[in-house]
Amino acid sequence: MAVRKIRIWPDPALKEVAAPVHPIDDEVRRLVSDLFETMYQANGVGLAATQVAVTQRVLVIDLDPHGQAKNDAEVAADLKAMGFAGPTAFINPEIVESEGEILWEEGCLSVPGVTEQVRRHERVVVRALDMQGQPFELNVNGLFAVAVQHEIDHLDGKVFVEYLSKLKRDVIKRKMERLKVEAIDDGVAAAAIL
């Protein structure tokens, strides 16, 4: 496993549309491991392959990266109610059903230090392949549904700030341009104001 460099918006790599994965081989499994390691290192709950400049339809989500559910029954119940059963890799994910609407305060590892409210579907059914190439389908809601939609957007070349007004996007873009983002030895992005 390796920590990879997370691309920072407006890096052109984030506009790339990911291609379906066929077949699921050891290289893809290594990518999944790297995505989890990179996400955990950066304190995220989701990461798409395009965020590390790999144009394959692969994403990972872990809504409990610090293992709180093991010691807190309320957290465990909340996660279960969202449809979350543990760290999940999605290969060739697609949303096959959606309903409702929710306004959610989103952040992104590719847009560090920025959170904004984004309108999403409240519930989605996502279909994907697992690491063995077996199809699965999850019916998810709340944060899990938001995370799935957010990460699939990355695979489609879209970052959450694109849901915002042009004025807000321009302000965020200027903020990102004022930050000098450098990869450090362990692959974690560190921001320093210029």
The answer to whether 109 and 6 have CB atoms below 8 angstroms apart is: yes
Catalytic residue flag (residue 162): no
**Secondary structure letter of residue 43 according to DSSP:** T
Q: For the residues of 4-18, what is the DSSP string, one character each?
A: -PPP-TT-GGGGPPP
Residues 31 and 56: beta-carbon distance below 8 Å: yes
According to DSSP, residue 82 is labeled: T
> What does the pLDDT look like over 143-185, one tens digit per residue?
999 999 999 999 999 999 999 999 999 999 988 887 754 433 3
Burial degree of 178 (CB within 10 A; 0-12, 13-18, 19+): exposed
pLDDT, residue 47, reads: 99
The yes-or-no verdict on residue 1 having pLDDT over 80 is: no
Catalytic residue among 16, 106, 116, 151: 151
Task: Tell if the pTM clears 0.85, that is, is over it.
Answer: yes
Residue 32, token pair as written in the block: 């999944």
Domains of the chain in sequence order: 12-193 (3.90.45.10)
Q: How many CB atoms lie within 10 A of CB 45?
A: 21
Percent of the chain whose predicted confidence (pLDDT) is above 90: 81
How does pLDDT run across 86-132, given as a tens digit for each residue?
Answer: 999 999 999 999 999 999 999 999 999 999 999 999 999 999 999 99
